[in-house]
Amino acid sequence: MEMNGFTLNFNIYVGVMIRLFKVKEKQRELAENANGGAPTKKQSPGELRLHKDISELNLPKSCAITFPNGKDNLMNFEVSIRPDEGYYFGGTFLFSFQVSPVYPHEAPKVKCKTKVYHPNIDLEGNVCLNILREDWKPVLNINTIIYGLYHLFTEPNYEDPLNHEAAVVLRDNPKMFESNVRRAMSGGYVGQTFFPRCV
């Protein structure tokens, strides 16, 4: 295989530049370590986007965000929602968020940690919210998800259920549904299922 002078010189140039970049990176790491600081972990694009989303949060007063693992672990956090209207008025519901390093190209994994009688949340805490599944788009953000969760409590949807029994009761007998929600939130049984107090 014959190489002309340009191809050979270009390949040598690329090789030298790659080595220079590696040397510069190593020098930067050594300088950081010499200054007594731990080597800084490079943030993933998902972490950078999540940091932006969190800094721009505009939550309703009935919602709050906490970081139980500290400020160094932004990718796992909790959101509490305390609806100020509707069937779930006065209850407090806790959700865990696990955010992937490829966020926003993948929706966060959201689970309800509070056992709740709800047509769109099953007894294992799985949440049926379209923007967490098929309608997720990278332009959506954490604020959008929290508002979506809040909306589930002010307008539960019996047409897209995870808890089919609760959905049927909501559709066929809204007064009984309201009674079941109040009983569950007060710490009691609905059918054979016990719900811990959340008011």
- The predicted-structure confidence for 136-163, as pLDDT tens digits, reads as follows 999 999 999 999 999 999 999 999 899 9
Q: Please list the ranges in the chain whose pLDDT falls under 50.
A: 1, 6-8, 10, 14, 16
**For position 73, what pLDDT does the model report?**
86
Mark whether 63 is an active-site residue: no
Tokens of 110: 């959201």
**For position 42, what pLDDT does the model report?**
80
**For position 168, what pLDDT does the model report?**
98
Alpha-carbon distance values, 163 to 136, 160, 199 (Å) = 22, 9, 21
Point out the catalytic residue in the list 63, 112, 128, 198.
Answer: 128
